[in-house]
Structure 1
Amino acid sequence: MAELLARLPQEALCLVDCPPSGGEGPEPAAGLAALPPRVVRHLLLPASTAMAEMRRQVAAHRPVGIDRLCFSKVDEAGV
């Protein structure tokens, strides 16, 4: 993945879809931690996710180096 990202233009957007972190075994997203600092990492969570689960997902993905948190399905969250 690092080779592929190195060939992208400076302002390119690359989305990597990873399964939710269950806390068991090595995570497929672990390789994202080795990406160059110019890569901004967003964690995307459904807006309806319970706060405890959001905290768990943020903690589980912390080794990846999450820079920002984004929400999907805001229209379905009933907020």
Structure 2
Amino acid sequence: MDSTLRLFSKAITWQVLGFVTMTIVGFLFTGSFAAASGIALVGAASGFVAYFLHEMAWSKVRWGRADHIERHANKR
């Protein structure tokens, strides 16, 4: 299971990449870095929360993990 700090760090780095990408895309559509940055900031904030909650939920699912598969196989 990933630690909360690891999940948080992954979420931050993902959102930085997303922010830069969305700023570029927003600028291409609007021609304004101010508008593009605003769009990207809202997207990054909502995406960060969604990603973090998604990762927290999946960290509780044992299905498909190597350690879970090995324990299950040893019971046979």
TM over 0.5: no
> Which has the greater radius of gyration?
2
Looking at secondary structure, tell me which structure has more helix per residue. 2
Looking at secondary structure, tell me which structure has more strand per residue. 1
Calculate the TM-score normalised by the size of structure 1: 0.29
Calculate the TM-score normalised by the size of structure 2: 0.30
